Amino acid sequence: MRYLIIGTGPAGIAAAEKIRGLDEENEILMLTSEEIAGYSKPLITYFLGRKVNEDRMFYRPPWYFEERNISVMTSTKVIEVNPAKKLVITESGEAINYDRLLIATGGLPIVPEIEGLNPSEMEGVFTFTQWKDSKDVAKYITDNDVTEAVVLGGGLIGLKTTEALLELGLKVSIVELSDRILSNTFDKKASMIVTSALQKRGCNVYTNDTIVQVKGKKKITKVVLKSGREIKTKLLIIAIGVKPNVGFLKESGVRVNRGVVVNEHMETNITDIFAAGDCAEFYDPRLGKSSTIAIWPVAFSEGEVAGYNMAGERVSYQGGIPMNSVEIAGVATISVGNTSAEVENVEILEYESDKRSVYKKLVIKDGKLVGAVFVGDIDRAGIYTGLILQKVDVSSFKDDLMRDDFGLVYLPKEYRKKLMEGELKVWLE
């Protein structure tokens, strides 16, 4: 009996851990196309910015797998899955059989078509989704005396990369197609605080714009924006998003929409094949629709559920919510849940302090807190996150929610009791 897991990100690792917890005997084999397993992707920008060293990158070091009798094959890329024969084919032509298979291949960076751009041939153009990218960019900066960079995309990965480049002393220009940075989670006010903090650190932020041409022969020398602006640069980071990494499943019969379609047990349409993490599209029966939430905690939880079910314990995934916590240009930010004001029938509570560069927004729907944004002051964000995750009716203490000292003491007795009894652990996390 062999459990085969493609991918050593949080989804794959969480699954392997749960399987081993339930099944001490059978083989668990993990494959990764990368040279290293068990490192933390959210830290690769901090590694570039020299804020974390190599040791801290491993949240599951190599001995961890050995100790649990989990085998890992690195630099092994799967190019095909054959469910009829229950095997996968690797790039080197090896056939590896499985009894139960987990697809946990994460996301692939999206690279737009731009005149003059061929990232595999032009030096100085990088995407930024793997530890190797971080090392390659660091080396390129040193080898080429890079002092300025352009980052295409003002989302989470683009801004985290910008932060790292600023730490290294580079002058950075961000080019963002939408009218503001972090547009998926932030409204204009929240974006403006972060934008002006970036500008104070010498960063250019060009919104409502994009790159239409890249110049340079062997190495990039310049980018041309839609607005006509030209920016000289030796380094371009493309960070406009990721898409589920599912191309190798084309002939497999595994149902793929945007990602691999899974039910609440993380099962695909094919028996004994499961999927989890950024590559999976979870059908949420409560919402009646599928979605992919490409964040670490969701990937980990989905992996855990997949692991339980692969090892024979029937467990259902309850669905996740978007959640991000990031410090940009010295401004701490957190966004949780549905933060968009465009959602129908919502009530918005806001607090703003220009002096302190602080902004807080809460989104309430049907008496429940469904989203929150904190910029500049993230104290107590955990309590609001708990209220969102637990779907607590906040109607009775709504007026207290925006108090500066809002805390557990303002919650109704019944909730505090549940908290004391450990039923609502998440509130304290």
Ligand X SMILES: Cc1cc2nc3c(=O)[nH]c(=O)nc-3n(C[C@H](O)[C@H](O)[C@H](O)COP(=O)(O)OP(=O)(O)OC[C@H]3O[C@@H](n4cnc5c(N)ncnc54)[C@H](O)[C@@H]3O)c2cc1C
List residues binding ligand X (CB under 6 A).
6-12, 31-34, 41-42, 44-45, 77-78, 104-107, 128-129, 156-157, 160, 245, 248, 277-278, 294-297, 299, 324, 326
Nearer to ligand X, 9 or 153 (CB): 9
Nearer to ligand X, 304 or 377 (CB): 304
Nearer to ligand X, 19 or 364 (CB): 19
Distance, CA of 358 to CA of 350 (rounded, Å): 11
Distance, CA of 39 to CA of 26 (rounded, Å): 25
Tokens of residue 244, six digits: 């589920």
Task: Give the nearest distance from C-beta 127 to ligand X in angstroms.
Answer: 9
Nearer to ligand X, 129 or 252 (CB): 129
Task: Give the nearest distance from C-beta 245 to ligand X in angstroms.
Answer: 5
Nearer to ligand X, 21 or 241 (CB): 241
In 255-397, the DSSP E strands lie at 260-262, 273-275, 280-284, 289-291, 323-328, 331-337, 346-353, 358-365, 368-375
| Residue 164 backbone phi and psi in degrees, to 5 | -65, -45
Quote the crossing angle between the two packed helices 10-22 and 296-310, to the nearest 10°. Answer: 30
| Residue 100 backbone phi and psi in degrees, to 5 | -130, 135
Tokens of residue 183, six digits: 């547009």
Amino acid, res. 333: T
Adjacent-strand bridge partners of 6: 31, 103
**CA distances to 231, 232, 321 from 222, in Å:** 6, 4, 39
Give the three-state DSSP class for 293. coil
Task: Give the nearest distance from C-beta 351 to ligand X in angstroms.
Answer: 24
Task: Give the nearest distance from C-beta 135 to ligand X in angstroms.
Answer: 13
| Residue at token pair 């190798």 | 248
**CA distances to 28, 185, 380 from 96, in Å:** 12, 41, 49
Task: Give the nearest distance from C-beta 408 to ligand X in angstroms.
Answer: 25
Nearer to ligand X, 107 or 154 (CB): 107
Nearest to 33 by CA among 115, 90, 118: 90
Task: Give the nearest distance from C-beta 81 to ligand X in angstroms.
Answer: 10
Nearer to ligand X, 31 or 235 (CB): 31
Task: Give the nearest distance from C-beta 369 to ligand X in angstroms.
Answer: 20
H/E segment holding residue 205: strand 204-206
Spatial strand order of the sheet with 87-90 comes to 78-82, 87-90, 95-97
Nearer to ligand X, 193 or 294 (CB): 294
Nearer to ligand X, 7 or 216 (CB): 7
Contacts 24+ apart (CB under 8 A), 416-419: none
Is there a contact between 2 and 98 (Cβ–Cβ < 8 Å)?
A: yes
Adjacent-strand bridge partners of 173: 150, 204
Task: Give the nearest distance from C-beta 407 to ligand X in angstroms.
Answer: 25
Nearer to ligand X, 45 or 309 (CB): 45
Task: Give the nearest distance from C-beta 28 to ligand X in angstroms.
Answer: 15
Task: Give the nearest distance from C-beta 140 to ligand X in angstroms.
Answer: 17
Nearer to ligand X, 185 or 210 (CB): 185
Helices (H), 316-397: 381-389
Task: Give the nearest distance from C-beta 74 to ligand X in angstroms.
Answer: 8
Residues 6 or more apart whose Cβ sits within 8 Å of residue 85: 97
Distance, CA of 351 to CA of 269 (rounded, Å): 47
